[in-house]
């Protein structure tokens, strides 16, 4: 009952409309610019570059600036590695199956490494979910635009998101002192925790990627990286119950989001209307991501899939099917990783009892 109550509880707001508006503007302006230039093939790089604005959402300006500079730099580096990985298949004459396994292995390494970097830099949101998503989505795109164009859009969007993040300094009433005290180094306990968390990200993402790939080859569905993204969702939280709750919320929110997406696709929006929808979903996601994860997923699901459709058109029905199947696989793996330590401790305790 506590688990169910937590899943449907709405936390109090904290001026969430401010960061939500910044994030919506950060993604809308670059995307509408690409629509006007007829370069939607670069849209995915703009979408992930705009993730820079997600970090440091309620921090004072100086601390927000520092977090977003680091977050944007890391995201751009991840996108560069993803673009290079996408080209590796052709460069080394890999078969499609070998290319998929290369992407799974590379995404797994990104999951663990970025989790460590984010912890070292004390970035918020914590974890490497966004980096897994960005790397795998870009690495899986065939026939990419020239690399310099991809990176130009990624860097320009990250810089724009950084400027939007600082825009509230123009209002004297909202300006905060430009004070950025040096961050204390991680304590030995924090380093140990960061290493354990990165191991969890490595195991969860890798296991979900392997299972989704094998199942997809047998059953004929794709987008295995959605399972890898869903697998790391339950790893964020202070208690086991909260982590399990996040995994279940991911599944339920995705199912509700797919219903919303189906309604949107029935309207067959034009590209400029699609960009408006993406911005609206980004606003909705940021409004609720810190307050009610299930509700936030209702906006995250169409946001992710519509962004994918802008770059790689696909049959909507197949896309919806892949999303829910991969989400269930990933969330189940993530919950299993969360529960494994507790199960192992109980098993050891049971074995130590006298017969």
**Predicted pLDDT at 211:** 94
Burial classification of residue 202, based on how many CB atoms lie within 10 Å of its CB (0-12 exposed, 13-18 middle, 19 or more buried): buried
Give which of 329, 312, 75 is closest to 227, Cα–Cα: 329
The answer to whether residue 101 is domain-embedded is: yes
CB half-sphere exposure, 13, CA atoms < 13 A: 9
**Predicted pLDDT at 4:** 67
**Predicted pLDDT at 2:** 67
**From CA 315, how far away is CA 239, in angstroms rounded?**
39
The CA-based angle 54-213-95, given to 5 degrees, is 105
Give the three-state DSSP class for 159. helix
Contacts of 111 (CB under 8 A, 6+ apart): 128, 131, 132, 201, 202, 204, 205, 206, 228, 232
Give which of 172, 147, 329, 162 is closest to 251, Cα–Cα: 329
Record the pTM.
Answer: 0.91
**Predicted pLDDT at 332:** 93
**From CA 45, how far away is CA 79, in angstroms rounded?**
7
The answer to whether residue 182 is domain-embedded is: no
Contact 41, 311 (CB under 8 A): yes
Instruction: Give whole-number Cα distances, 285 to 22, 121, 127, 225, 303, in Å.
Output: 12, 24, 18, 20, 9
Give which of 280, 265, 282, 272 is closest to 320, Cα–Cα: 265
The answer to whether residue 96 is domain-embedded is: yes
**From CA 268, how far away is CA 262, in angstroms rounded?**
10
**From CA 100, how far away is CA 117, in angstroms rounded?**
26
Domain coverage including residue 348: 2-9+16-175+188-352
Give which of 170, 164, 128, 132 is closest to 23, Cα–Cα: 164
The answer to whether residue 108 is domain-embedded is: yes
HEC sequence for 253-293: HHHHHHHHHHHHHHCCCCHHHHHHHHHHHHHHHHHHCCCCH
Residue 29 in tokens: 């302006």
Instruction: List the chain pLDDT tens, one digit each, 355 residues.
Output: 666 666 667 777 777 888 899 999 999 999 999 999 999 999 999 999 999 999 988 888 889 999 999 999 999 999 999 999 999 877 887 888 888 999 999 999 999 999 999 999 999 888 899 999 999 999 988 888 999 999 999 999 999 999 999 988 887 777 788 877 777 778 888 889 889 999 999 999 999 999 999 998 888 887 889 999 999 999 887 788 888 888 888 889 899 999 999 999 888 888 899 999 999 999 999 998 888 888 999 999 899 888 877 777 777 778 888 888 999 999 999 999 998 887 777 777 777 766 5
The answer to whether residue 71 is domain-embedded is: yes
Residue 79 in tokens: 């996108």
Contact 327, 253 (CB under 8 A): no
**Predicted pLDDT at 354:** 66
Number of structural domains found in the chain: 1
Task: Fill in the DSSP letter of residue 55.
Answer: T
Residue 19 CA, chain-centre distance (Å), reads 17
Contact 40, 311 (CB under 8 A): yes
The answer to whether residue 303 is domain-embedded is: yes
The answer to whether residue 180 is domain-embedded is: no
Instruction: Give whole-number Cα distances, 208 to 33, 44, 105, 187, 240, in Å.
Output: 36, 23, 11, 31, 19
Instruction: Give whole-number Cα distances, 160 to 90, 178, 190, in Å.
Output: 33, 20, 33
The answer to whether residue 183 is domain-embedded is: no
């Amino acid at each position: 009952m506590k688990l169910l109550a937590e899943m449907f509880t709405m936390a109090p707001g904290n001026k969430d409309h401010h960061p939500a508006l910044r994030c919506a503007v950060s993604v809308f302006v670059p995307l509408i610019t690409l629509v006007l230039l007829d370069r939607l093939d670069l849209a995915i790089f703009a979408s992930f570059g705009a993730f820079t604005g997600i970090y440091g959402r309620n921090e004072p300006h100086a601390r927000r600036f520092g977090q977003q500079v680091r977050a944007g730099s890391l995201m751009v580096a991840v996108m560069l590695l993803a673009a290079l990985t996408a080209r590796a298949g052709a460069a080394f004459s890999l078969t499609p199956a070998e290319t998929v396994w290369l992407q799974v292995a590379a995404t797994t390494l990104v999951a663990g490494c970025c989790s460590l970097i984010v912890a070292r830099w004390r970035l918020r949101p914590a974890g490497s979910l966004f980096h897994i998503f960005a790397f795998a989505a870009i690495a899986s795109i065939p026939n990419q635009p020239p690399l310099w164009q991809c990176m130009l859009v990624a860097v320009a969007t990250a810089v724009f998101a950084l400027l939007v993040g600082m825009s509230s300094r123009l209002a004297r009433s909202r300006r905060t002192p430009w004070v950025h005290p040096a961050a204390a180094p991680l304590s030995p306990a924090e380093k140990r925790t960061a290493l354990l968390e990165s191991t969890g990200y490595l195991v969860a993402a890798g296991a979900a990627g392997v299972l989704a790939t094998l199942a997809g080859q047998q059953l004929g569905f794709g987008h295995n990286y959605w399972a890898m993204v869903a697998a790391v969702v339950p790893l964020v939280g202070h208690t086991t119950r909260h982590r399990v709750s996040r995994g279940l919320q991911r599944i339920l929110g995705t199912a509700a989001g797919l219903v919303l997406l189906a309604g949107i696709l029935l309207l067959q929006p034009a590209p400029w209307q699609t960009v408006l929808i993406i911005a609206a979903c980004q606003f909705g996601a940021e409004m609720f991501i810190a307050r009610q994860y299930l509700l936030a997923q209702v906006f995250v699901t169409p946001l992710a899939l519509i962004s994918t459709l802008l770059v790689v058109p696909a049959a909507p029905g197949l896309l919806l099917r892949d999303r829910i199947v991969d989400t269930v696989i990933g969330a189940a793996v993530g919950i299993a990783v969360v529960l494994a330590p507790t199960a192992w401790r109980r098993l050891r305790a049971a074995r130590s009892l006298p017969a």
